[in-house]
Structure 1
Amino acid sequence: MKRKIAVFTGSRAEYGLLYWLMKDLQSSGDVELQLIVSGMHLSPEFGETWRQITEDGFNIDAKVEMLLSSDSAVGIVKSIGVGTLGFADALDRLRPDILVVLGDRFETLAIAQAALIMRIPIAHLHGGEITEGAYDDAIRHAISKMAYLHFVAAEPYRQRVIQMGEAPERVFNVGAVGVDHLLRAPKMSIEQLRENLGFDLRSPYMVVTYHPVTLMAEDPQESFTALLEALDDFPEHQVILTYPNADNGGRAIIPMLETYARSRPDRVLAIQSLGFKRYLSAISMASVVVGNSSSGIIEVPAFGIPTVNIGVRQKGRLAADSVLHCDPSIDSIKRNVHRALTPEFGATCKITINPYGSGNASDAIFRILRDYDGTFHKSFFDLS
């Protein structure tokens, strides 16, 4: 009987990272891929990105509605509760031999705690990382303690997971799965991207994504206002402006984003979701990527493109030399974007070494999952 491996995705970004692992599992004759989809994927407000998953040739085995139409702290907690109920039913019906989850979002916490209680082994990707500006940081570590297998993106992260009591033989440094796109994903030309977006995209342009900071004292609306005002200092650059995720305060940013784009229709495109294929094509030709998404730190450096990382959301992550960190103020953002656009810094970005691997993570993870013996029990590993 084939091993049943369930993969969970609750957001557009996470799906893009998991894509090649899912393709490897799907094409294997040794395992059965089960796909559980939830969160922002099912929300019209965030683009119903589940449709892209099916267009990519995947069968969705379970759709679990969980998002309330609220991004308050209370609303997020209630969404976790709704999700846990739905995931219990989905996991009971699918009965996977192992559940694969990535990262640190609250949707992932909901399904991980259900799987733990139901004695379904968890394989966790991107554990051991630090993002001090978001409660995702604590969620990530909590999922690591629920998981049995760990696939981390860099050696310092492997050591951190071991420090949390996970046995070294179950913690694998495979690199970041998102970097696999550099070697495996076809890219659109700017003409193809222009036609696909229905927007007269020209070079030079920026890709901008800002998510709310959920744990530290950085007001999302104030920071996003500063970002938008700073972008006006670069009138020669067009802007692809993507929606924030469904964290606390995210919905307050959306009307600001839409108003900004409407007032600059020839220069700014606001879009709910690029999807990973368009996103990768867009960043590969961009002059700079600006905002506070983890992608700007993990995947963008692999393309030799500069990143301006704003504020504290990603504080603590390893970062390549192509990443510039700045305060969420107008002057700091403008100063760092200007620096990122200089020929000298651009030349540095082309030769920077990305600490997140070389682009073969999905294959390494697939082979370990395929050969996993199904063991569930684990003991706390004490550092001697």
Structure 2
Amino acid sequence: MSKTKLLFVIGTRPEAIKLAPVIRALRFHSDYFETRICATAQHREMLDQVMNFFDLRADFDLDLMVPGQDLFGLTNRILRGLQSVIPKIKPDWVVVQGDTTTSFAASLAAFYSKVPVAHVEAGLRTFDKSSPYPEEMNRQLISRIADLHFAPTENNRENLVKENIDERKIYVTGNTVIDALLHCRDKADHSHSTGMRHLREILDDDKKLILITGHRRENFGRGFEQICDALYRLAMRDDIQIIYPVHLNPNVQQPVFDRLGDVENIHLIEPLDYPSFVWLMDKSHLVLTDSGGIQEEAPSLGKPVIVMREITERTEAVEAGTVLLAGTDTEKIVSETTKLLDDDDLYQAMSKRVNPYGDGNASDKIVKAFREISIV
């Protein structure tokens, strides 16, 4: 029996984190599968960190990141790059993850090449095409192209069914980010990376640690200004410390450093490598974020999450009570954070809720699905 050839197209750090355990699981079944990786390097440095940690090597590296890149140019470069890669490999499947420009453009390139697409983390929806932007529309477009849908939750499956996706092509697996997180957590305490050594030096064990992340386009401008105002007010407390690995995008860096650069109790640091970030998240008391993935990861470590977005595609987390939506309103961010800092019963109830995104076996379920399909 010939092997099933799978081409994974990866552009950003979150994609690499969530696809790494799938690739590793498939490689345990090398008698059945041949896996190749094409890196678009939509985010160069941050992607390389994760690829190195999970011991992944790109068979093709398009190296497409350019200073000041926009969605028009990036989409065009990905399509052009894959126009030559896909015919060389002749894959049975192109595998994409999530909602990035890389995932959308790779799906479109596969469609143009008449190669079926498998979508990991399918079916998430806000039903507002401007939030998150452009990710929500990327997801919807990928779903129209994809031939196989790996949905993290039953709710995600139902979203796809409502959009007339064939139920036989949908598999509910859990989210692969939990697989990656648990693997990394087991290794992180033994890591001696520069980032982790620096964190050990600045952490004050007598204070509650609040971890911040933020990078969403829809928060650029006034949204980030309001977030910074909230962090400034929270930092006036003497029982907490705030650590904020600041995204490299100038639209994030400028308001954050302008407003918070000299504030006591706030440490603005460079983006962390993945194991250092997982270690820091595990040490934190709670997390404030506009990220999607952290809404899935932090609850597995028992960390309440306050989401600084007006709407989320991770509705299961809201329903399960593992995250709270605060938007970018300064007063609401301060209020919700203060409640969790001061009300231990509320904190304990939230931290002990069951994570709706699985138990770390999503990758094995995806491999099983590919095995069933290849046999048919």
Q: Which has the higher contact order (CA 8 A, sep 6+)?
A: 1
Greater shift after overlay, 302-311 or 351-360? 351-360
Asked if 1:321 is matched to 2:321, the reply is yes
2:155 corresponds to which residue? 156
Asked if 1:208 is matched to 2:208, the reply is no
Q: Deviations over 1:171-210 (max 9, x none)?
A: 0011111122454331534996786252423243222111
Task: Name the aligned partner's letter for residue 121 of structure 1.
Answer: P
- Please give the secondary structure, in 1, of the residue aligned with 2:87: helix
**Structure 1 stretches of 4+ moved >6 Å:** none
Counterpart contact for 1:123–1:147, Cα < 8 Å:
yes
List alignment gaps of at least 5 residues for structure 2.
none
Q: Deviations over 1:57-103 (max 9, x none)?
A: 222111123344336xxx21221111110111122222222111111
**Deviation of the 1:345 alpha carbon:** 2.3
Distance (whole Å) between structure 1 residues aligned to residue 99 and residue 336 of structure 2? 28
Q: Pairwise CA RMSD of aligned residues?
A: 2.6
Task: Name the aligned partner's letter for residue 291 of structure 1.
Answer: T
List alignment gaps of at least 5 residues for structure 1.
376-384
Distance (whole Å) between structure 2 residues aligned to residue 300 and residue 55 of structure 1? 20
Distance (whole Å) between structure 1 residues aligned to residue 50 and residue 170 of structure 2? 32
**Deviation of the 1:146 alpha carbon:** 0.8
Equivalent residues in 2 for 1:37-116, closer than 5 Å = 37-42=39-44, 47-70=45-68, 75-116=70-111
**Deviation of the 1:167 alpha carbon:** 1.5
- Please give the secondary structure, in 2, of the residue aligned with 1:318: helix
Counterpart contact for 2:117–2:145, Cα < 8 Å:
yes
Query: 1:346/1:29 Cα in 2 relative to 1: closer, same or farther (>3 Å)?
Result: same
Identity of aligned residues (%): 20
- Please give the secondary structure, in 2, of the residue aligned with 1:198: helix
Greater shift after overlay, 171-180 or 125-134? 125-134
1:378 corresponds to which residue? none
* Selected match of 1:240 from 227, 235, 243: 243
Counterpart contact for 2:49–2:273, Cα < 8 Å:
no
Task: Name the aligned partner's letter for residue 87 of structure 1.
Answer: L
Distance (whole Å) between structure 1 residues aligned to residue 314 and residue 361 of structure 2? 25
Q: TM-score, normalised by structure 1?
A: 0.85
Task: Name the aligned partner's letter for residue 139 of structure 2.
Answer: R
1:172 corresponds to which residue? 171
Distance (whole Å) between structure 2 residues aligned to residue 267 and residue 337 of structure 1? 15
- Please give the secondary structure, in 2, of the residue aligned with 1:40: coil
Q: TM-score, normalised by structure 2?
A: 0.86
Task: Name the aligned partner's letter for residue 361 of structure 2.
Answer: N
Equivalent residues in 2 for 1:152-301, closer than 5 Å = 152-181=151-180, 183-185=182-184, 186-189=186-189, 196-199=196-199, 200-202=201-203, 203=205, 204-214=208-218, 219-235=219-235, 236-244=239-247, 250-259=249-258, 262-264=261-263, 267-272=266-271, 274-301=272-299
Counterpart contact for 2:191–2:275, Cα < 8 Å:
no
Distance (whole Å) between structure 1 residues aligned to residue 260 and residue 105 of structure 2? 35
**Deviation of the 1:266 alpha carbon:** 7.2
Query: 1:360/1:207 Cα in 2 relative to 1: closer, same or farther (>3 Å)?
Result: same
**Deviation of the 1:222 alpha carbon:** 1.5
Distance (whole Å) between structure 2 residues aligned to residue 118 and residue 182 of structure 1? 34
1:382 corresponds to which residue? none
Counterpart contact for 2:11–2:47, Cα < 8 Å:
no
